Copies of this chain bind each other. A is one copy, B any other.
Amino acid sequence: MALTDLEIAQACVLDPIDKVAAKAGIPADALEPYGRTKAKLSQEYLDSLDAPDGKLILVTAINPTKAGEGKSTTTVGLGDALNLLGKNTMMALREPSLGPVFGLKGGAAGGGYAQVVPMEDINLHFTGDMHAITTANNLLSAVIDNHIHQGNELGIDPDRITFRRCLDMNDRELRQVNIGLGPKANGIKREDGFNITVASEVMAALCLASDLQDLKKRFGDMLVGYSFDGEPVYARDLKVEGAMAMVMKDAIKPNLVQTLEHNPVLIHGGPFANIAHGCNSVIATRTALKLADYVVTEAGFGADLGAEKFLDIKCRLAGLHPSAVVIVATIRALKQHGGVAFEDLKEENIPALKAGIANLEKHIETAQAFGLPYVIAINEFATDTAAEIGALETWCRENGHPMSLSQVWAKGGEGALDLAEKVIALTEQPNDFEVLYDEKLPIEEKIRIIARRVYGADDVVFTDEAKEQIAEFEKHGWDRLPVCMAKTQMSLSDDPTKMGRPEHFTITVRELRPSLGAGFIVALTGKVLTMPGLPKHPSALDMDIDGEGKITGLF
C-alpha cells in the first residue's frame, strides 16, 4: 500500500534549521528558532539584505477539480529540481490554515515526495502567525464594541459595523451570531459573525505589508464601519493600530523550513484566494528574491483568480517583476472540463480530454496577456494513461506551447528536472510583463478588463447594490485601488457548473467590499463563504497522538 503524505513526512530525517539556513546563505545568528527545524528570520537580518533580486517563477493552474491540481506540490517539486540542477533556489509558500486540517481538506504542505516539513507542525500551530492574526483581529473587534459600550464618542452605528471577529476553525455555528446578549454589562446587542482567520483582513494586510510600520499604517486604514452620520470609521479613529502591530511583532517575520530534500523554503502568510489575493507575504517573496537566484512561488486557485491577483495586486503593489509562469494541469481536470463527472475521472477518455484542453488554452492566453513566458506542467496521476498524456503532448507541440510531465508527487525533485530546465530557459528570455489595468480607472472599468481579458466574458453586470456601493466608494476616494475578484474557482465564469471554456457569458458583480488595510476593493460575484464548516465525519475524529508523540490521521 502506498505511504500517506504523513508517513512519508515522518520518515524524513530533517536537517537542523541552521544547516538549511546555511544552504540559503543565512547565518545562524539571523535565525530565531522555533524548535530545531523551524525558524523566523530576524528583523535586523531582513533589513540588512541588499543583494540584487533573483528570478521569480509563479506556479498557477487551470480551473481545478475539487481535489485541487497540485500547485503546492509542483512548487515544492520544481524548487527541489532546480536545486538538483545546482541552481540556488528557494520556495515561498502560503501558511496552511488550522481549520481545514480538522475538516476534509487536510493539510497544505505539498504531497507525496514533494512536501515541506515538519509537516505536522506546519499544519498545526507552526510558529503562531495565525494565532497572532486572530488576536489582532479580535482585539480590534473588542475595542470597537467596547467603544460603543463605554459611551460611543465616535457615534459608531452598531448596525453598520463591517469588521467581523475571526477564529482559525471550521465552525459554521459562528457564521452568523448575535452578541452582547444578557444584562447591559454584557455590552451592546448586535449581529456579528466570525470569519476563518485566513479570511481576516489582518491576514491580507500582513501579506501585502513591506514591514511592521507599514502594517501598522494598514491596520489604521482598516474600515470598521460607519457612524450614525454615515461617515466611515477607521481603526485609527479607535487608536488601536499600535497594539495590533505589537501583537504582530513576530508574525511579521518570515518562517524558514525545508523540503523533504532539505532545500530552504519560506512559508509566510496565507490569505483566502477569493475575498483576498491568495498569495504568501510580500516580505517572504522579497526576502527569497534577495537570497536566491530562483524563487518558486504559488497563488491560490486557478490562473483566472490566483495568477491575475498575484500579478495585478501583489506584483503591482510590491513592484515585483516575474520571469515565468508554470501552469499546472492534470489529465483528470482536463477530462472534467471536457464533460466527465468527478466519479468517472479514473477512466481513459481522449475525446473529453481534447475538449477540456480549451480551459487550459484560456489560461495560456492569460499568461500571454500579462506578457509572461509560460510552461505547462502536467501533474501526473497514477490513473493517467499513456494515450491521454500523448494526446496532450501532441496538442502542445502542434500549438507551440512548452510542456513538461511532472512526476514530483512520486519522485520529488527528480520528477521535475525537465520542467526545471524549461523554466530556466524561460527565465533567460526578457519579458514584457505588464499589469492588466491602471488602478486609477473607475472600478467598473477595472472589473470589465479582468472579466473580458482573463475570464473571456462578454460583459459585466453590476447589481443595484453594487452600483450604490461603487458610488459610495468613489465619494470616499476608495476607488483608486486594485480590484480583488471573488469568484468561483471551478469555472472561468461565475457559474461553477460551466466547465471548459465558457463563451457568451456575463459576470455579475453583486457586492463590493473595501479592504482598505489590505489595499484593494473586493468584488463579489456570488456568495462567498468566509467560515467553512466541518463535514459529516471530520478528519479530527481520526487523529491521534501516542505516548511517543507520534501523530496519526493528519493528512
Q: Hey, which bits of chain A sit against chain B, CB under 8 A? A: 32-36, 40, 43, 98, 102, 120, 124-125, 128, 131-132, 134-135, 138-139, 141-143, 145-146, 149-151, 167-182, 185-188, 191-192, 211-213, 216, 238-240, 242-243, 245-247, 249-250, 533-536, 538, 540-547, 549, 551, 553-554
Contacts and interface: CB of A to CB of B under 8 A. Distances in A.
A150 B176 CA distance: 18
B238 A102 contact: no
A172 B187 contact: yes
Which of A167, A168, A172, A541 has the most chain B CB within a 10 Å cutoff?
A172
B179 A173 contact: yes
Contacts of A146: 172, 533-534, 538
B139 A102 contact: yes
A186 B176 contact: yes
Nearest to A247: B124
Contacts of A124: 246-247, 249
Copies in the complex: 2
A543 B242 contact: yes
Nearest to A554: B246
Which of A142, A145, A172, A182 has the most chain B CB within a 10 Å cutoff?
A142
The 4 closest A-B pairs by CB, nearest first: A242-B544, A131-B131, A243-B540, A176-B182
Given A34-B34, A240-B540, A541-B143, A149 B172 contact: yes
B177 A179 contact: yes
Given A32-B36, A173-B145, A533-B187, A135 B98 contact: yes
Contacts of A98: 135
Contact of A213 (B186, B535, B543, B547): B547
A263 to B, nearest CB: 23
B545 A216 contact: yes
Contacts of A533: 146, 149, 185, 187
A181 B186 contact: no
A172 B216 CA distance: 26
A187 B188 CA distance: 24
Contacts of A178: 177-178, 181
A131 B128 CA distance: 8
A249 B551 contact: yes
Contact of A536 (B151, B179, B187, B191): B151
